A and B are shown apart, each in its own frame.
Chain A
């Protein structure tokens, strides 16, 4: 009750955040975080721990309990990610998915992240039957040596097998994640992976430049001099080549790192970049709900203990100010190839983006970084590889 009152109080103070919530509430997303992996990959900065020896069933029960607290919310998309959801025993993962479906009947897109080498026909059929309609496969590379370097434990062959199995189980909406600029890689290596992905006739590809996340093995190795980041010029060439090649293959770039055939864009992720509300379930998960950004602490034990005691999972809450909401919306929107839709921006924030960001817009237009029409503001093609240098000027209002 107190929380509700606090929420109402904030709703009154954060006009634009409230506006965003009200108009977009029925397009909210649900994210479920499964913090287990078979083993930790060397580049991965997401919260996960090896599943071996863990009471995964207890965590799943806690996830379901937390989920029940949101009964009645009208989620349109759901996404089960991690970690590796497929590190859970098949019946636990299927049970989790089924419960989400039962609770939230209006879900129109339901994605589960899968790891090649961790899927088999029964699991995939079970997921399909439980209501999953989209799979995101963590392929990362089609080079055995690169997979090895990344600390992945699946083989190149298993990627193809997993795709075949998924199609067999009735999935035609498949996404594939790829990583480029892996230390030691060449442009040829990257081209090979992209061509292999295109050859599989995948409808959605995410192509991420490898980043050195704090706390990862790669980050440690780089600081110790054991590993060298790919030269920036090569990184850029790889990126530009991928954009060009994927578009040629009919996979349009719809966000800085995401490419899809028409109507196969990931709606759940689009929600993030449109700055729509979402609820995150599980340890380490984040939410943006009623104008507040909440983040659960990445700690399985404390999460489970709190949920079992009927308490809020430990974490932090930040109320987004009206200015924060405006800036976040602009920054996130600009990551999409469609950029800021001026009408949608006004509806969501109550502000005119052209007016609010007049100064950075003027400067970056002059520098050829922004394309402005009567309806949209978007990054130009040449601005994409240096997007942060432009987006930072939209990060605050002074």
Chain B
């Protein structure tokens, strides 16, 4: 599309031109939405098309819904060889909710494995878009792209003409540039933005002067004005990272709009994990790095956290697991900070005896049992699309994870969509990896939060040498509590080194000890031979031994290594 509209030349074309993070190209995914402005001659007129490329993965709904708010229409792209995926369905629902017109596009029809007819059937069956209305294209060869561009001009509604109204531009994304400060990605809904205009951020309240504005073509190209309906960027000497929030409305300071645009629902964070700097002196650097990440990613949050076992760090909230992995990777890659991360947990609601409801993000926040009436856990509607020959394995796994089948639907003779009601805690850690394994990579999954529900949840406490260690406790369903507790202390037994004394590990549920393992005392730790030639090597080994002791956290007089804290949610054997 970019080539056909002359936005880029064939020579510039490289795969994934809009994905400029290394991590996006490596993983072949889009994480951040990005924009581009194209011009297209059709029917004697020049159309300006503003395209926002969005992520498809389940964790990035928030990015998608933000982008959709800035758009009139949506191209729902389905791979001709892979067919409708779980996230295709979810994104189609999002587009429908934000009242965007949907054009279904079947891409890669020139691949030998392409089955455009089958895919069109699926689209009609699942999304209710008629199969003869699907566009069949090859973005690589350009096949069908002309027709698609014409359809965009023809079928998608143009932006409403609100040129004369007070200026309102939605910030749908932003990023920080070391030299230019904050760059806001915006869509002008009414009025216009001009160079050197004095603007006001309506939510935040501060005013700025525009020093540069422009369009993405697809690189940033400055211009003097962004008119109603246009998508582009604004630079306005915004220096501080925390001064802008995505979803805010920009207006003219001299002639402000009465109301801001409808922003976004704050994203629902469902997965929490603690991050500690590997090196204590990196605490402030970690804080700065989180600041930067949070600016570009409103769905990520962090609050300071102090764990007796792990020191000073941050409790971070994420949309899902991929989101968490990506933040961690960006953190290490873009900031060169080693982090120690605890196993992810979900958030719970606790109904107290006095009738109040408390939200907790960590088992350690759970009030004493005597005050707790019930514990509620988050449930999701889970959609899985898989091949019919792997359905047995998937259903068995789902069953073991307390998922209730709501319906199953054959999209085609070989592909099935399963809909479950599932406890988030059961699918948040390794579920996706497991279904990928069972289905040899074919299955796709998406989920949507539906609400908190009371369950038979209990807290497992782990006592190390008689001392309860909060960072090791977890909340689980009663049915699996005992098994989980037993597995956990077996893992801990492997990761906690032996001491000069026996270390008992105990599992307590509801104050009652239900299992015990013992780490035997070490009996022998001595180098038999140490002569002149061995000194340098031996000193190194001893220093490492000392270093190892120091990296561990003392709980009572027991040293616990950091890996032990990670083993909490690992349910494998």
Residues of A within 8 A of B (CB): 29, 31, 208-211, 232-233, 235-236, 239, 256-257, 269, 271-273, 278, 280, 284-288, 293, 295, 318, 324, 327-328, 331-332, 335, 367, 384-389, 391-396
Inter-chain contacts of B532 with A (CB < 8 A) = 29, 31, 271-272, 278, 280, 286-288
In the complex, A7 Cα to B482 Cα: how many Å?
66
The stretch that binds A, out of B322-330, B431-439, B540-548, is: B540-548
Residue of B nearest to A379 (CB): B526
Q: Cβ of A285 and Cβ of B533 under 8 Å apart?
A: yes
A-B contacts, 8 of them at CB < 8 A, read A31-B533, A211-B527, A272-B530, A293-B535, A386-B523, A387-B525, A394-B542, A395-B542
Inter-chain contacts of B523 with A (CB < 8 A) = 232-233, 235-236, 385-386
Q: Cβ of B542 and Cβ of A392 under 8 Å apart?
A: yes
Inter-chain contacts of A233 with B (CB < 8 A) = 523
In the complex, A354 Cα to B521 Cα: how many Å?
29
Interface residues as binary, B506-547 with A (CB distance below 8 Å gives 1, 0 otherwise): 000000000000000011111111111101101100110110
- The reply on B571 being an interface residue by CB < 8 A is no
Q: Cβ of B529 and Cβ of A257 under 8 Å apart?
A: yes
Give the total number of A-B pairs whose CB atoms are below 8 A apart. Answer: 100
A249 CB, nearest partner CB in chain B, Å:
20
Q: Cβ of B533 and Cβ of A295 under 8 Å apart?
A: yes
Q: Cβ of B542 and Cβ of A388 under 8 Å apart?
A: yes
Residue of B nearest to A388 (CB): B525
Q: A257-B529, A388-B545 are in contact. Are A332 and B535 (CB under 8 A)?
A: yes
Inter-chain contacts of B546 with A (CB < 8 A) = 392-393, 395-396
- The reply on B130 being an interface residue by CB < 8 A is no
In the complex, A391 Cα to B523 Cα: how many Å?
16
- The reply on B500 being an interface residue by CB < 8 A is yes
- The reply on B358 being an interface residue by CB < 8 A is no
Inter-chain contacts of A391 with B (CB < 8 A) = 542
Residue of A nearest to B529 (CB): A208
A259 CB, nearest partner CB in chain B, Å:
13
Inter-chain contacts of A208 with B (CB < 8 A) = 528-529
- The reply on B549 being an interface residue by CB < 8 A is yes
Q: A328-B535, A331-B539 are in contact. List 15 more A-B contacts (CB 8 A).
A: A232-B524, A236-B523, A239-B524, A271-B532, A273-B530, A293-B535, A327-B539, A335-B530, A367-B500, A386-B500, A386-B525, A387-B527, A389-B525, A393-B546, A394-B542
Inter-chain contacts of B529 with A (CB < 8 A) = 208, 211, 257
In the complex, A257 Cα to B542 Cα: how many Å?
18
Interface residues as binary, B393-437 with A (CB distance below 8 Å gives 1, 0 otherwise): 000000000000000000000000000000000000000000000
Residues of B within 8 A of A (CB): 500, 522-533, 535-536, 538-539, 542-543, 545-546, 549
B497 CB, nearest partner CB in chain A, Å:
10
Q: A367-B500, A388-B545, A395-B543 are in contact. Are A280 and B533 (CB under 8 A)?
A: yes
Residue of A nearest to B543 (CB): A395
A125 CB, nearest partner CB in chain B, Å:
28
Residue of A nearest to B498 (CB): A232
Q: A269-B531, A288-B532, A328-B535 are in contact. Are A385 and B500 (CB under 8 A)?
A: no
In the complex, A367 Cα to B500 Cα: how many Å?
10
A66 CB, nearest partner CB in chain B, Å:
16
In the complex, A239 Cα to B523 Cα: how many Å?
11
Name the contact of B530 in the complex, choosing from A318, A332, A386 (C-beta under 8 A).
A332
Q: Cβ of A236 and Cβ of B533 under 8 Å apart?
A: no
In the complex, A29 Cα to B533 Cα: how many Å?
12
In the complex, A257 Cα to B526 Cα: how many Å?
10
Residue of B nearest to A382 (CB): B500
Residue of B nearest to A389 (CB): B525
Residue of B nearest to A208 (CB): B528
Q: Cβ of B533 and Cβ of A256 under 8 Å apart?
A: no
In the complex, A235 Cα to B532 Cα: how many Å?
25
In the complex, A228 Cα to B536 Cα: how many Å?
29
Q: A388-B545, A392-B546 are in contact. Are A235 and B533 (CB under 8 A)?
A: no
A348 CB, nearest partner CB in chain B, Å:
15
B219 CB, nearest partner CB in chain A, Å:
51
In the complex, A389 Cα to B542 Cα: how many Å?
8
Q: Cβ of A392 and Cβ of B535 under 8 Å apart?
A: no
Inter-chain contacts of B545 with A (CB < 8 A) = 388-389, 392, 395
In the complex, A295 Cα to B537 Cα: how many Å?
11
In the complex, A388 Cα to B530 Cα: how many Å?
11
In the complex, A239 Cα to B542 Cα: how many Å?
22
B558 CB, nearest partner CB in chain A, Å:
14
Inter-chain contacts of A280 with B (CB < 8 A) = 532-533
A274 CB, nearest partner CB in chain B, Å:
11
Inter-chain contacts of B530 with A (CB < 8 A) = 256, 272-273, 332, 335
Q: Cβ of B539 and Cβ of A324 under 8 Å apart?
A: yes
Residue of A nearest to B534 (CB): A286
In the complex, A385 Cα to B527 Cα: how many Å?
9
Q: Cβ of A209 and Cβ of B522 under 8 Å apart?
A: no
Residue of B nearest to A81 (CB): B531
In the complex, A331 Cα to B541 Cα: how many Å?
12
Q: Cβ of A385 and Cβ of B528 under 8 Å apart?
A: no
Residue of A nearest to B535 (CB): A328
Q: A208-B528, A385-B523, A388-B542 are in contact. Are A293 and B549 (CB under 8 A)?
A: no
Q: Cβ of A386 and Cβ of B526 under 8 Å apart?
A: yes
Inter-chain contacts of B525 with A (CB < 8 A) = 385-389
Name the contact of A288 in the complex, choosing from B526, B527, B535 (C-beta under 8 A).
B535
Q: Cβ of A384 and Cβ of B526 under 8 Å apart?
A: yes
Q: Cβ of B524 and Cβ of A209 under 8 Å apart?
A: yes
B403 CB, nearest partner CB in chain A, Å:
40
Q: Cβ of B531 and Cβ of A272 under 8 Å apart?
A: yes
Q: Cβ of B542 and Cβ of A318 under 8 Å apart?
A: no
Inter-chain contacts of A331 with B (CB < 8 A) = 538-539, 542
Q: Cβ of A395 and Cβ of B539 under 8 Å apart?
A: yes
Inter-chain contacts of A210 with B (CB < 8 A) = 528
Which of B522, B524, B531, B532 gathers the greatest number of chain A CB atoms within 10 Å? B532
Q: A392-B545, A395-B542 are in contact. Are A386 and B533 (CB under 8 A)?
A: no
In the complex, A328 Cα to B516 Cα: how many Å?
42
A217 CB, nearest partner CB in chain B, Å:
18
Residue of A nearest to B533 (CB): A286
Residue of A nearest to B545 (CB): A392
Residue of B nearest to A256 (CB): B526
Q: Cβ of A232 and Cβ of B526 under 8 Å apart?
A: no
Q: Cβ of A389 and Cβ of B536 under 8 Å apart?
A: no
Name the contact of B536 in the complex, choosing from A211, A318, A386 (C-beta under 8 A).
A318
In the complex, A395 Cα to B426 Cα: how many Å?
47
Inter-chain contacts of A327 with B (CB < 8 A) = 539
Inter-chain contacts of B533 with A (CB < 8 A) = 31, 280, 284-286, 295
Residue of A nearest to B544 (CB): A392
Q: Cβ of B528 and Cβ of A209 under 8 Å apart?
A: yes
Q: Cβ of B500 and Cβ of A389 under 8 Å apart?
A: yes
In the complex, A232 Cα to B522 Cα: how many Å?
8
Which of B500, B527, B539, B545 gathers the greatest number of chain A CB atoms within 10 Å? B539
In the complex, A31 Cα to B533 Cα: how many Å?
10
In the complex, A193 Cα to B150 Cα: how many Å?
94
In the complex, A392 Cα to B538 Cα: how many Å?
10
Inter-chain contacts of A285 with B (CB < 8 A) = 533
Q: A324-B539, A392-B543 are in contact. Are A386 and B531 (CB under 8 A)?
A: no
B532 CB, nearest partner CB in chain A, Å:
5
Q: Cβ of B536 and Cβ of A295 under 8 Å apart?
A: yes
B453 CB, nearest partner CB in chain A, Å:
49
Q: Cβ of B549 and Cβ of A209 under 8 Å apart?
A: no
Residue of A nearest to B531 (CB): A272
In the complex, A284 Cα to B532 Cα: how many Å?
12
Q: Cβ of B539 and Cβ of A388 under 8 Å apart?
A: no
In the complex, A214 Cα to B539 Cα: how many Å?
17
Inter-chain contacts of B527 with A (CB < 8 A) = 211, 256, 387-388
Inter-chain contacts of A256 with B (CB < 8 A) = 526-528, 530
A109 CB, nearest partner CB in chain B, Å:
15
Name the contact of A386 in the complex, choosing from B524, B528, B549 (C-beta under 8 A).
B524
Q: Cβ of A257 and Cβ of B536 under 8 Å apart?
A: no
Name the contact of B549 in the complex, choosing from A232, A332, A392 (C-beta under 8 A).
A392
Inter-chain contacts of A273 with B (CB < 8 A) = 530
